[in-house]
Each structure stands twice: as structure tokens, then as C-alpha cells.
């Protein structure tokens, strides 16, 4: 028998209809009742859970439309695997805008300055219930879970290794995965890139920052933006992000997507805001079921409802530039929610999108998506998985992290 978790073992056919002994029948029915109640009390998908209460208590929601042809990721010709914001001005497409005519010195301005004027013009001419916002969507740097999946392969990862806390023998852990050494370096390089963009390209500074509660995303945001706060690059803006429960990665089964306790997050980032209603324990992560794409997309819409409703009140501005540091799956969920094509952002990278928002009366219609998907069964022995040429995961990780000094030397 293969040593892997069969997560369907709780669904045994236990009711023995042939039992005729009254006492045995009673015991059987009692067991059935307990099992049924246990399943009914299991954690529900994240969109039906407590994290939805703040967002779904709003008496308004929004319709979203991704504005195409402003950023390279919106174009079908842009290949996600090779897209690099650091060599493409954050993906902003250089072009003329009708609004340039109202700028006396348009030819002297950067592409980002002209784009910012264009967005301001769109907002100035939009009706009261419409607005335009720019989302900076950043994916965390490489985490140890990314290295483990690459080493074992996605099949073995999904069916076996992602359910574990980590590799106990090598002490490489991936529950609420931390950044690898390469991931830390990627975040540092993103900080340098942001500094250059803000100083030389005049890219607008975010009005607000939001981060996933996962350690790898929070650490990426801190390394990227805190130095810019410290050296004055952000100007009057203050990097005080808000930790948002709904900004987390696809939920369930994978221990890398189970967050730490609220008290741990607060201790690690004492100056940050943690949204109201954020529970001490991770009450949303489910060890049996994983969130579907449909549920994740709906969650992303609830997140945007919550953010846009509060940010317009806080800033008083009709349109805002918002920074969200999250995950590959979460970014794609946001893109689906706003009608943008899916775009797999590389680890330690980012994209920008322009979103047209229309305010609607009433709560977003409630939707339920069931329990989700269980882990796939292993088709091969997962203990035999691993990249050829390496003795074990540790040897592979050591090799990858040995390249960090080379990367740093090249960058400098």
C-alpha cells in the first residue's frame, strides 16, 4: 500500500441494513448521527465563513471591468513566464492619450505622469457611481513550499507532500511557508525597482497597502516597501498595510496556505493594521477540502468590495492607486473577478491593472459553492518522487540558495 493520505476514508459505507439485533441497530444509528453531525459542523468554504461578514455586511457592492490596452499583461501577446516588470516600466504601454491635449508640457512628462493624468481625467468625467482605480498586484518572493513543489513535482506535492508540515528530516518546513533566501533577495530587488520607478518614472505612490496574512506575503511587502518609507521615497505616504483575511491564497488542504495565529502576525508586524474581526486561530483553513476557482473568484470580489468601499471613504478620492501583496492564485482570482485574462505572475514579481468600478446598491448576491475539492490520490509512490541528480530536498534547496550570492553580485 502506498504511504499517502486517502482523504476519502471518512466516507465508508457504515450502515449495515441487514442488522436485526435491536441494540446493535441502535448503536449503528447513533454512530450515523454522530458522523452526520460532525460532517455538518466541518469548516465551510471561506466565502461562507466568518471572514465574509465584514465584506458582506456592506449595503453596496461593485461591478468591475478591467480596462484593456494599458498594461502589457492585458495583451494576449504577452507571455506570463517571460514578463518582467523591471524591464518594461511595470508593464505600462507607452502611448498617447486624448487627455494629453490638456497638458501644456506633455512631451516633457514621463509615461506614468501622462497615464496618471489620464486616469484623473477619466475619474473627473465619470458619473458619481463610477470610478477608476489602479491595482498594483505583487506576488510574494519564492517560498520553501515553492522549492518543495518543484523538487517533488506537482503530482506528488498535491497528493502527499502539501499535506505535511514540512520535511522533518531536513527541517525544511512549509506550513505558512516562509521566504527562502532567494525569495528574500527577490523582495530586496523589488524594493530597488520600486524606488527607481517612484523616483525616475514618477509612478504614483500607493494610497493604501494591503497584504495577505501569510508570512511569505507579509515579509515580501515589508522588505519591498519599508526601506522606501525609511529613506523618504514614499514622500508623505505612510507604509502601514492592512492585513486582510480574504487576500490569502487558495484555501484548504495545503499547509503552506494555513496562516499563523493573529498574535504571531501582530508580534511580527506590530505597526501594521489587522482588520477588525480577524480571529486568533485560522478558522477558515480546511484540512479536507480545497477552495475551487469559482469560490476563490467570488472571494476576490468580496475583497474588492470591502477595500474599495473603505478606501474611498478613507482617502476621499474618487480613484486610488492600491498595492496588494498576495499570491499567484489570489492574483488570478482578482483578475477573474474584474474580467481580466488570467496571468500567472512569477514569484517575486508584480503587475498593474486599471479597473473601472461601478457602485451598485445592495449587498453582493450571496453564493455557495459546496465544500470544495479533496486532495487527489497519488498515482505513483510519492516517496520515490524528487528531481534527478539530488539526494534529497535539502541538497536541492542548498543548491538553489547557493545561487543567491551570484544573483546579488550580478544585481549590484
Domain boundaries, the chain: 9-39, 44-411
CATH code, 44-411: 3.40.50.1240
More confident residue, 155 or 16: 155
DSSP string of 288-342, one letter each residue: S-B--HHHHHHHHHHHHHHHHHHHHHHH--SS-EEEEEE-HHHHHHHHHHTTPPP
Longest dimension (CA), the chain: 93
Q: State what percent of residues in the chain have pLDDT above 90.
A: 80
pTM above 0.85, yes or no: yes
Measured CA to CA, the distance from residue 386 to residue 203 in angstroms comes to 43
Contact 233, 198 (CB under 8 A): yes
| Region 285-299 average pLDDT | 97
Q: What is the mean pLDDT of residues 351-363?
A: 96
The residues near 161 (Cβ < 8 Å, ≥ 6 apart) are: 148, 149, 152, 382, 385
The cell numbers describing 181, all together, are 533566501
3-state helix, strand, coil in the chain (%, to 5): 45, 15, 40
H or E segment and range at residue 196: helix 181-200
Determine if residue 370 is left, alpha or beta; phi over 0 gives left, psi from -120 to 50 gives alpha, anything else beta.
left
Mean pLDDT of 199-215: 98
Which residues are known catalytic residues? 140, 249
CB 218 within 8 Å of CB 212? yes
8-state DSSP, 390:
-
Whole-number pLDDT of residue 38 = 36
Tens-digit pLDDT profile for residues 42-83: 343 445 444 444 444 578 999 999 999 999 999 999 999 999
Tens of pLDDT, residue by residue over 314-331, are: 777 788 999 999 999 999
Average pLDDT over residues 251-270: 98
d(CA 221, CA 140): 8
Amino acid at each position: 500500500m502506498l504511504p499517502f493520505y486517502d482523504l476519502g476514508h471518512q466516507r465508508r459505507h457504515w450502515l449495515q441494513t441487514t442488522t436485526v439485533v435491536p441494540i446493535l441497530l441502535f448503536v449503528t444509528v447513533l454512530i450515523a448521527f454522530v458522523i452526520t453531525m460532525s460532517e455538518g459542523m466541518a469548516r465551510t468554504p471561506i466565502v461562507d465563513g466568518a471572514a465574509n461578514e465584514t465584506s458582506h455586511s456592506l449595503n453596496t457592492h461593485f461591478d468591475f471591468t478591467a480596462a484593456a490596452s494599458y498594461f502589457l499583461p492585458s495583451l494576449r501577446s504577452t507571455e506570463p513566464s517571460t514578463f518582467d516588470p523591471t524591464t518594461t516600466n511595470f508593464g505600462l504601454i507607452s502611448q498617447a492619450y486624448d487627455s494629453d491635449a490638456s497638458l501644456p508640457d506633455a512631451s516633457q512628462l514621463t509615461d506614468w505622469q501622462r497615464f496618471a493624468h489620464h486616469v484623473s481625467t477619466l475619474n473627473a468625467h465619470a458619473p458619481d457611481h463610477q470610478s477608476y482605480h489602479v491595482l498594483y498586484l505583487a506576488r510574494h518572493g519564492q517560498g520553501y513550499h515553492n522549492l518543495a513543489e518543484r523538487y517533488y513535482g506537482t503530482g506528488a506535492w498535491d497528493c502527499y507532500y502539501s499535506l505535511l508540515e514540512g520535511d522533518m528530516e531536513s527541517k525544511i518546513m512549509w506550513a505558512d511557508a516562509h521566504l527562502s533566501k532567494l525569495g528574500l533577495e527577490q523582495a530586496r530587488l523589488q524594493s530597488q525597482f520600486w524606488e527607481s520607478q517612484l523616483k525616475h518614472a514618477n509612478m504614483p505612490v500607493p494610497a493604501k497597502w494591503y497584504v495577505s496574512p501569510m508570512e511569505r506575503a507579509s515579509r515580501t511587502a515589508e522588505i519591498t516597501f519599508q526601506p522606501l518609507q525609511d529613506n523618504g521615497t514614499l514622500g508623505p505616504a505612510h507604509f502601514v498595510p492592512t492585513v486582510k483575511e480574504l487576500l490569502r491564497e487558495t484555501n484548504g488542504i495545503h499547509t503552506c496556505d494555513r496562516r499563523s495565529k493573529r498574535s504571531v502576525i501582530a508580534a511580527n508586524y506590530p505597526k501594521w493594521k489587522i482588520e477588525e474581526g480577524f480571529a486568533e486561530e485560522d478558522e477558515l483553513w480546511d484540512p479536507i477540502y480545497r477552495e475551487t476557482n469559482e469560490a476563490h473568484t467570488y472571494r476576490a470580489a468580496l475583497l474588492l468590495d470591502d477595500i474599495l468601499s473603505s478606501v474611498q471613504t478613507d482617502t476621499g478620492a474618487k480613484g486610488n492607486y492600491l498595492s496588494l501583496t498576495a499570491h499567484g492564485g489570489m492574483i488570478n482570482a482578482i483578475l477573474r473577478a474584474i474580467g481580466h485574462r488570467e496571468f500567472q505572475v512569477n514569484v517575486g514579481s508584480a503587475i498593474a491593472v486599471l479597473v473601472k468600478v461601478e457602485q451598485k446598491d445592495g449587498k453582493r448576491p450571496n453564493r455557495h459553492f459546496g465544500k470544495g475539492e479533496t486532495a487527489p490520490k497519488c498515482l505513483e509512490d510519492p516517496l520515490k518522487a524528487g528531481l534527478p541528480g539530488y539526494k534529497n530536498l535539502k541538497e536541492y534547496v542548498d543548491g538553489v540558495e547557493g545561487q543567491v550570492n551570484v544573483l546579488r553580485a550580478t544585481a549590484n
